[in-house]
Chains A and B, each alone.
Chain A
């Protein structure tokens, strides 16, 4: 069935609204501050074959990667009515271990084949492993936490208690994990109900057809956007500072060939996978390309898998952009993903010089703090990403202290943080002067300083502490970030990627990079 232009637009809205509603449910019922305050999650709908048909505007890094999780779950498990599958294993459909993806099929009563699937992905503030928060300086996947290949968490409507217990035995802060998993399952239930409502009111054939046609529609729009770009091959390279074990800088190279409404994105020449946790698996590389393509296409391109039909991604195996087991990958999702975007935009700036902004901060500046909270008599695990400066664009200075590109999570309100964790925020301000200078200045980064009130394990995974975010067309680079520990009144610089044990009263200070400037002054 081919839908008319009107029905297509109507269905686009209806399916996106279901994904949005799932997000509201997850945010309002979550237990950990990372979910209920920071909204570190995404929701999407898939067709009967497991291709993504609609996604809510949540986090770009989940865009291209969630479909691989859903397909892994479908291929490995035979999902029947009332089942819910979970997966986080980066080498079996996941991205990094804290991101747990859940998938549920949507069956119309009496039908053999599912109408589609609903899925969500949430970042758990702890998934076990060598340090609280599971975002530490690791050198292989086994240190990073509890691995979950696709498994059923709920079978025919009944929770599989054994799997839950295994999960809780391998992760910290059980009550939070339990509440967050329940919230994820609840959101799927609501999504499933809404999809069935839709099929009931509009008819199953129409819903199925709409999911196919929407993908075709995005594919057409994307091809049109690519046809408007000047044909050619555009190359760029940029670097990760290091892997945390002294290896660096780590090059990422890309060649983007654009011709006839198609793009081939080739990362050949990028560094082999490294010891430290900055390896990205293929899902993340795909996400970064997906995000850049969506930005380049018209704003209205519905985010579904049709968008990528005109795009081919080549990522050499066992490289930092397509890592093999048992590489450490905790930072691939959050740090390398940002550098991938920087490289892609740097290449595209040659094809569309007036549209592409200079580099943004290029790091999520991940901070995890955990330990035992003697005041509240419980373990704790706190996770936060700290925004930086946005790159300037033609006619527009970069915004300061704002999340860019692959993430868009909120900050934890200071008042929520201090009521919940044994920590005090001692400073939170814009890092003035850190944005690059030019015709249009880059945005400034942030300063966030926290005091530990109990002995705590602190991990930092951050980038752009050595190499600066680039400016464009003669604009200056943003200032690199810097991390410090303040102990007994003395401030000592610590590396970009590190794990440390802080005494009660010590402070951790993160200064994030500014964005690059656009144009010569």
Chain B
């Protein structure tokens, strides 16, 4: 970003990014102009402990300017159902809405449809006599008696957190404000629907408010501790849309951080990719049990509604799609004679057959048989794989398929790649993007191993294996910008460009004021304007950048996404949005040393490439210098992953140590 200063001099202050994952806590810091990284085991019972320890390990007793943290506190509280006891105040007669939801079921053929347990038990849902209408009129005002009752219930309920959601509060929040004012006297966190989400559709607003209330007390306590103990002037939290927010906002609206970690990963990928000038890419993070993919088209693609742990949450999150396909996914032939891979996973224990404990063939076994892995070098040699067991497990599958072992291994890889390709198509083709126009950025333990073949399946010609792929999240946090979206519902038929400009003015003013409070000058703020448009009568809007030709843009986008345009129909502008972002410092990686001639292969391995067995060379990644070019097939070993370069791909190492694989025409 043009407005951010690059860190390079030793006089610059310390900037830190932290990511807390299920297993590891990663810390990335720029100290005296140098990027330093530290990885340590997470402390799930007390996530702050690992953060504090990791930061101390890197900066000693010095102190940082900014520390940005991607937190899993909210996510885990929800996934593990460890959140607070919440009391809900809503309109009388509608107390069960949180349980009814939208009346539908997620699996239409399940013999016994089930829903997640509501986050507020029945006895803790309090109906109040109040009614606001869609146009903001108040049909039934909150009476003094009701107010007293609310105060009594608040005191006696033993709730640790409150949620308030009234019908039509987006149109007139007076009722919600009155209830919130009473509840706030208890000094316990109060989540109020119109503050979190001033939009119509009551269930999604209610559910978002309740999730916020559910995770708030844990988050408040956690942030309080970090603020007190972390040696940093500014503490920021990654929110699910990839921007960082200040502590105040994270405390009041922790639901914004529900996908903090994965968002940091995408932003990390983006800051790496910016270095080599790629701004349209698909992130591909393949691990043991699942694979995450997301689309980055000059900016992260967002979705407005998601269902973490089955609960509806309507805050912008980076559109990350997860499929149950990973190295541990189990392969089998079903009764109809089709090869299925996943979603059942062998996990880490017993793990794929090659781990030496289980029998069932998994993707990693197929990788091993196909020569995509070296048995002796798994996790940098820290764990031994049993090639014979993989061979036997895939052999059993081959008998069921009535084919050879190699063919069965290839089949497993093709199916798992097809499952992942479907996930990629979902976030590209189905959103109107052609995957062939994007690069594939591979992460995770198994990503680099499958990237070439996945790319080939999708027609993608450029695969990137970034340096330090395991640190993408912490690095993303370090590089994240402080950002926020401001929106205004305008509901106007075909306004002029100038009129929209005038409407955005006040949003801009608010953004400048808030950013100034965070220490940013006007020149440091980057902003973009957007408009949400639809044909009059529709209920879903297309969100497009505001340009002078915004109406023509809309007709074109509608045709592309929905199969028709109606150039003579009235177009409504529903919302205008302003996205403002700013940051002080970013990190620019240093070049690595140049390659001195062709490196020596560390080993050779028998692999299936191009449908036949052949011997291919194996290289250590740290031996590949800048500017080096090689041709596949080959393997690259590094600590956390092995990469497979297919025969029709060429390899190039850029100045910063990232590996580019390009399909040969």
Q: Which residues of A contact B (CB under 8 A)?
A: 4-6, 8-10, 12-14, 17, 20-21, 24-25, 27-31, 33, 36-37, 57-60, 175-176, 179, 182-183, 185-190, 193-194, 201, 217-218, 220-221, 224-225, 291, 294-295, 298-301, 355-357, 386-387, 390, 392-393, 396, 398-404, 408-411, 413-416, 418-419, 424, 426-430, 446, 449
Contacts and interface: CB of A to CB of B under 8 A. Distances in A.
B321 to A, nearest CB: 12
Given A24-B430, A410-B104, A13 B201 contact: no
B552 interface: no
Contact of B537 (A175, A294, A357, A418): A175
B105 A402 contact: yes
Contacts of B411: 4-6
Interface stretch (B75-83, B285-293, B337-345): B337-345
A355 B109 CA distance: 13
Given A8-B338, A13-B418, A429 B105 contact: no
Contact of B540 (A29, A396, A403): A29
B103 A419 contact: no
6 contacts: A5-B337, A6-B415, A13-B418, A399-B115, A402-B113, A415-B202
A194 B538 CA distance: 24
Contacts of B564: 29, 182, 185-186, 189
Interface in B523-560: 535, 537-540, 558
B100 A179 contact: no
Contacts of A399: 105, 113-115
B563 A410 contact: no
B111 A393 contact: yes
A20 B537 CA distance: 23
A50 B124 CA distance: 54
A-B pairs with lowest CB-CB distance, top 8: A189-B563, A186-B563, A393-B112, A5-B339, A221-B336, A224-B335, A28-B540, A427-B93
A187 B419 CA distance: 25
Contacts of B112: 357, 390, 392-393, 396, 398
Contacts of B333: 5
Nearest to B541: A28
Interface in B378-425: 401, 411, 414-415, 418-419, 422, 425
A10 B430 contact: no
B307 interface: no
B337 A217 contact: yes
Contacts of A20: 430
Given A357-B111, A402-B104, A403-B105, A413 B540 contact: no
B345 to A, nearest CB: 17
A226 B38 CA distance: 57
Given A28-B540, A404-B113, A416-B539, A428 B97 contact: yes
Contacts of B159: none
Interface residues of B, number: 60
B340 A415 contact: no
B134 interface: yes
B104 A25 contact: no
B538 A10 contact: no
A36 B538 contact: yes
B104 A408 contact: yes
A414 B202 CA distance: 7
Contact of A187 (B104, B337, B537, B563): B563
B99 A300 contact: no
Contacts of A25: 561-563
Nearest to B93: A427
Contact of B109 (A221, A299, A419): A299
Contacts of B102: 410-411
A9 B418 contact: yes
Contacts of B426: 17
Contacts of B493: none
A10 to B, nearest CB: 4
B201 A401 contact: no
Nearest to A440: B112
Nearest to A306: B336
Contacts of A58: 108
A419 B93 contact: no
A28 B202 contact: no
A374 B459 CA distance: 57
Given A403-B104, A413-B201, A416-B201, A300 B537 contact: no
A28 B562 contact: yes
A189 B203 CA distance: 32
A6 B336 CA distance: 12
Nearest to B403: A4
A403 B430 CA distance: 28
Interface string B81-100: 00000000000011111011
B200 interface: yes
A429 B418 CA distance: 44
Contact of A430 (B96, B422, B429): B96
B94 A387 contact: no
Nearest to B540: A28
Given A6-B414, A179-B537, A415-B202, A426 B93 contact: yes
B403 to A, nearest CB: 9
B335 A418 contact: no
Contacts of A430: 96, 99-100
Contacts of B337: 5, 217, 220
A498 to B, nearest CB: 23
A307 to B, nearest CB: 11
B168 A418 contact: yes
B94 A428 contact: yes
Contacts of A4: 411
B610 interface: no
Best-buried of B112, B134, B335 by chain A (most CB within 10 Å) = B112
Contact of A416 (B109, B200, B535): B200
A408 B113 CA distance: 11
B97 A190 contact: no
B334 interface: yes
Given A9-B338, A13-B422, A355-B111, 7 more contacts: A6-B418, A17-B426, A179-B538, A400-B99, A404-B113, A426-B93, A429-B100
B580 interface: no
A373 to B, nearest CB: 13
Contacts of A396: 112, 114
B537 to A, nearest CB: 4
A354 to B, nearest CB: 11
B566 interface: yes
B561 to A, nearest CB: 7
A427 B537 CA distance: 27
A415 B134 contact: yes
Given A17-B426, A413-B201, A413-B203, A295 B562 contact: no
Contact of A411 (B103, B335, B430): B103
A319 B190 CA distance: 59
Contact of B334 (A10, A300, A390): A300
B334 A17 contact: no
Nearest to B564: A186
A515 to B, nearest CB: 10
A27 to B, nearest CB: 8
Interface string B337-365: 11110000000000000000000000000
B376 interface: no
Given A6-B415, A428-B93, A428-B100, A295 B109 contact: yes
B31 to A, nearest CB: 48
B645 interface: no
A59 B419 CA distance: 25
B167 interface: yes
Nearest to A14: B422
B115 A176 contact: no
A390 to B, nearest CB: 6
A9 B415 CA distance: 7
- Most B CB contacts (10 A, CB to CB) among A20, A21, A298, A386 go to A21
B133 interface: yes
Contact of A413 (B96, B200, B334, B414): B200
